[in-house]
Structure 1
């Protein structure tokens, strides 16, 4: 089967050339499709990481991490044990002053 002669005002494209061009376009679209799938997978991973990051930041801001709870308990325990120290010092100082006054009168 021979190709018809080209018209006077245009270019003739044979069915074989059309088929080859369609195949080339199909391969290009397939490559784009693969790249888009990779991009979507990367986007999903980024969203998961971002969501996890946001969750951890919110927990830190609210003081809800295990470490923060443990530190808060430790600090409150230290503060509770520290409060008697000034009282003991005051009592000891007062006892010393009383002893000094009594010693002064007993001379």
Structure 2
């Protein structure tokens, strides 16, 4: 059974004040540690957010280039397609010319009979 110190005993009062001070210091130390951990996590999250934002900007820039058709591959393919279109045979024109010749030949043979 513990006895309560009398309020008039200065040593007991000083001892109690020292215990309260120690308890408050421990509480402040724990609070400071928790705040330091929160600050560290915030900094890590902030760095990760900046990295993700930078990567997102890079992806958006690449998508813009693709949408505008300014990619090296797209320019090369477009140039190649233009060359192929210029050098292709004019098949519809040749087909129309052959059909016209066949019609004229048929009319000539019909007129000869």
- Tell me the TM-score normalized by structure 2: 0.68
2:13 aligns with 4
The verdict on how the C-alpha distance between 1:59 and 1:2 changes in structure 2, with shifts beyond 3 A counting, is farther
The Cα of 1:76 is off from its aligned counterpart by 3.2
Shift >2 Å, 4+ stretches: 1-5, 12-15, 65-83, 101-107
Indicate how the Cα distance of structure 1 residues 84 and 28 shifts in structure 2: closer, same or farther if over 3 A, else same: same
Give the number of aligned pairs.
Answer: 101
Distance 1:100 1:23, change over 3 A: same
Q: Could you say which residue in structure 1 is the equivalent of 2:31?
A: 25
More divergent stretch after superposition (93-102 vs 71-80): 71-80
Unaligned runs of 5+ in 1: 6-11
- Partner-residue secondary structure (3-state), 1:64: coil
CA drift at 1:43: 0.4
- Name which one, 1 or 2, has greater alpha-carbon Rg: 2
Gaps of 5+ in 2: 1-9
CA shift for structure 1 position 22: 2.0
Higher relative contact order (CA 8 A, sep 6+): 1
Q: Which of the two has greater helix per residue? A: 2
Where do 1:7-86 residues align within 5 Å? 14-81=20-87, 84-86=90-92
Q: What does 1:88-99 correspond to in 2, within 5 Å?
A: 88-99=94-105
TM-score (norm 1): 0.71
- Aligned equivalents of 1:84 and 1:93: distance in 2? 14
Q: CA deviation at 1:55?
A: 0.5
1:102, distance to aligned residue in structure 2 (A): 2.5
